[in-house]
Chain A
């Protein structure tokens, strides 16, 4: 597995700061397991990414955690959490580096959990991972920080602050970190801002360059459609009005529209809304990932797995799991045969492995040729010329970039996007839902 692929709260378990596993786990959405993206709080006080909860509610109408009835209109933004997530993500790489470094010296490795632990977890209704993780923590040899270790020490004998990179004496880092974090907060806006390493650039921008929806109107949410009373032609028309592809079978049209409403509405909640172009790309990517067993669209099929390739170290998996399987099997056999006089030959012993292989081979790997009716995004996106110059990723100036005319334009670009957002959707949002 490529470490740069997905990060996970369990990354902390093998560091000198295993307690951060619980902290990070609390900053991640239980549906997608990623850090919260535009967290929304439900009326039952559970929090999910805006997009995640919207999709869940469309499927089930219930909170995934407590199964209480919930409606999208009741969702409220959880700004404080967004801010926390941003700050944590910004600090993560530096802290992780330090924590891994410390642990290397201590040389800790986790034991497997005991099943008793997991049994108990089953009885805990919410966030069962936490209690377990706490138990897991206890088993990790605790590492006292800095017993003479010289991580990050260089010629000047100083170490950099993981937030602002200012160099200082090692023993001052922790004290400084407190202040550094607060300074950063003070300088940045009170509203959630893009995670940055502090470099005073964003901190000094004037209020009007901040993300627009905190000063201006929010993007308007799209209403849901009652598909059962909508004729197919009307639905196609609706899709074209939205700038979406209007082709494909009826069921696909509905699913496409539903997903678009989710993407759009989640984007309305976002502190850092994307351009419509990007949303269309997300929709396109979503559409390509559909198909296959359950959610099959007539004739449309695609494994959607190409996304994974770069994140996935197949050989690593195969190797580590062969070893793991063999260990399990060997243990089992040892246990069993201690009660029973062993009579099986080595050939028999490979049986599990071979039936597995046969089974694997049988698994249908067919990835039918992708026959998407989706036109290239460009043809459908009428706003491209109007905005398209700046990529969202650069819209908020990256940390450390001096605020020049061109990147201040990036910041303003977002505002323009908002304005365009209204024009982009001639059907209009439902005003009553807009202000949430």
Chain B
């Protein structure tokens, strides 16, 4: 039972997401042999330049989940202040309360064992709508977002169209 904690918890989350997931979000294990690696799809929020896009990502869970948070990585190109060029997502809910090298995050926004995949994905969705440029993961994107918003939005729209093959 002890060992199953992480996997059971992930099964619960997966199960709940299949039965009742928020609109625009899909997630689940990539294959049956490894419940610690998930794949997720996030719909671009409406009235943002990401609107209309579907963005694939992977989630990697630690063995001590939910004590520690998973990491999340977009597997498509994602030009966003809070996403590293590698695709790795950098938002507070994915950071354990213990380490905050930047000292800018509210402890209350960070990971806690009662957070969930669903909450992460919803947070990422709202991150797409409202970037946090206090501690950018992609400096170039952050700079453009801050200083040349129109250009940034056009670039994102262009990338979304490309992603959809339109």
Interface residues of A, Cβ cutoff 8 Å to B: 1, 5-6, 8-11, 13-14, 30-34, 51-52, 55-56, 59-60, 62, 64-65, 67, 110, 112-115, 117-119, 121-122, 128, 136, 259, 263, 282-283, 285-295, 303-305, 307-309, 311-315, 317-318, 320-321, 324-325, 328-329, 332-333, 335-337, 340, 342-345, 348-349, 351-352, 355-356, 359-360, 363, 365
What residues of B have a CB within 8 angstroms of the CB of A8 in the complex?
A: 12, 15-16, 19
Q: How far is the CB of B32 from chain A (nearest CB, A)?
A: 3
**B154 close to A (CB within 8 Å):** no
On whether the beta carbons of B32 and A6 are closer than 8 Å, the reply is no
Please give 7 more A-B residue pairs, beta carbons under 8 A apart, in addition to A6-B8, A122-B122, A286-B5. A10-B15, A56-B113, A118-B23, A317-B28, A335-B51, A343-B166, A363-B37
What residues of B have a CB within 8 angstroms of the CB of A359 in the complex?
A: 56, 58, 75
Q: What 3 pairs across the A-B complex have the smallest Cβ distances?
A: A314-B32, A348-B165, A289-B3
In the complex, 17 of the A-B residue pairs with CB atoms within 8 angstroms, ordered by the A residue number, are A1-B11, A31-B113, A33-B12, A51-B2, A56-B67, A60-B97, A110-B20, A112-B21, A112-B23, A289-B2, A291-B63, A317-B28, A324-B26, A328-B41, A336-B160, A359-B56, A360-B39
On whether the beta carbons of A294 and B122 are closer than 8 Å, the reply is no
A114 — nearest CB in chain B belongs to which residue? B23
On whether the beta carbons of A356 and B56 are closer than 8 Å, the reply is yes
What residues of B have a CB within 8 angstroms of the CB of A55 in the complex?
A: 67
On whether the beta carbons of A6 and B22 are closer than 8 Å, the reply is no
Alpha-carbon gap, A328 to B52, bound state (A): 10
On whether the beta carbons of B1 and A282 are closer than 8 Å, the reply is yes
Alpha-carbon gap, A1 to B28, bound state (A): 12
Q: Interface SS of chain A: helix, strand, loop or mixed?
A: helix
On whether the beta carbons of B18 and A67 are closer than 8 Å, the reply is no
What residues of B have a CB within 8 angstroms of the CB of A355 in the complex?
A: 56, 75-76
**B132 close to A (CB within 8 Å):** no
Alpha-carbon gap, A11 to B126, bound state (A): 28
What residues of A have a CB within 8 angstroms of the CB of B56 in the complex?
A: 352, 355-356, 359
B163 — nearest CB in chain A belongs to which residue? A352
What residues of A have a CB within 8 angstroms of the CB of B107 in the complex?
A: 67
Among B20, B33, B39, B43: residue with most chain A CB under 10 A = B20
Q: A67-B97, A308-B7, A351-B165 known; A33 and B13 CB under 8 Å?
A: yes
On whether the beta carbons of B33 and A365 are closer than 8 Å, the reply is yes
What residues of B have a CB within 8 angstroms of the CB of A259 in the complex?
A: 2
What residues of B have a CB within 8 angstroms of the CB of A117 in the complex?
A: 22
Q: How far is the CB of B15 from chain A (nearest CB, A)?
A: 5
Alpha-carbon gap, A288 to B36, bound state (A): 15
What residues of B have a CB within 8 angstroms of the CB of A311 in the complex?
A: 11
What residues of B have a CB within 8 angstroms of the CB of A320 in the complex?
A: 18
**B98 close to A (CB within 8 Å):** yes
Q: How many residues of B contact A (CB 8 A)?
A: 71
On whether the beta carbons of B36 and A122 are closer than 8 Å, the reply is no
**B49 close to A (CB within 8 Å):** no
Q: A336-B52, A355-B76 known; A34 and B12 CB under 8 Å?
A: yes
What residues of A have a CB within 8 angstroms of the CB of B97 in the complex?
A: 60, 62, 67
Q: A294-B62, A312-B11, A332-B54 known; A32 and B35 CB under 8 Å?
A: no
Q: How far is the CB of B58 from chain A (nearest CB, A)?
A: 7
**B31 close to A (CB within 8 Å):** yes
On whether the beta carbons of B11 and A329 are closer than 8 Å, the reply is no
Alpha-carbon gap, A312 to B62, bound state (A): 19
Q: How far is the CB of B92 from chain A (nearest CB, A)?
A: 13
A290 — nearest CB in chain B belongs to which residue? B63
Alpha-carbon gap, A308 to B1, bound state (A): 12
What residues of B have a CB within 8 angstroms of the CB of A289 in the complex?
A: 2-7, 63
B53 — nearest CB in chain A belongs to which residue? A332
Which of A340, A345, A363 interacts with B161 by CB under 8 Å? A340
What residues of A have a CB within 8 angstroms of the CB of B135 in the complex?
A: none
A335 — nearest CB in chain B belongs to which residue? B52
**B24 close to A (CB within 8 Å):** yes
Q: A31-B114, A64-B112, A352-B54 known; A304 and B6 CB under 8 Å?
A: yes
**B66 close to A (CB within 8 Å):** yes
What residues of B have a CB within 8 angstroms of the CB of A283 in the complex?
A: 2
Alpha-carbon gap, A117 to B11, bound state (A): 24
What residues of A have a CB within 8 angstroms of the CB of B67 in the complex?
A: 55-56, 59-60
Alpha-carbon gap, A286 to B63, bound state (A): 10
Q: A115-B24, A305-B7, A321-B28 known; A122 and B19 CB under 8 Å?
A: no
Alpha-carbon gap, A90 to B30, bound state (A): 34
A363 — nearest CB in chain B belongs to which residue? B37
On whether the beta carbons of A321 and B63 are closer than 8 Å, the reply is no
Which positions 75-132 of chain B face chain A at CB distance < 8 Å? 75-76, 97-98, 107-108, 112-114, 119, 122-123, 125-126
Which of B39, B43, B119, B165 interacts with A328 by CB under 8 Å? B43
**B9 close to A (CB within 8 Å):** yes
Alpha-carbon gap, A112 to B12, bound state (A): 18
On whether the beta carbons of B164 and A307 are closer than 8 Å, the reply is no
B112 — nearest CB in chain A belongs to which residue? A64
Alpha-carbon gap, A278 to B82, bound state (A): 46
B30 — nearest CB in chain A belongs to which residue? A360
Q: How far is the CB of B144 from chain A (nearest CB, A)?
A: 23
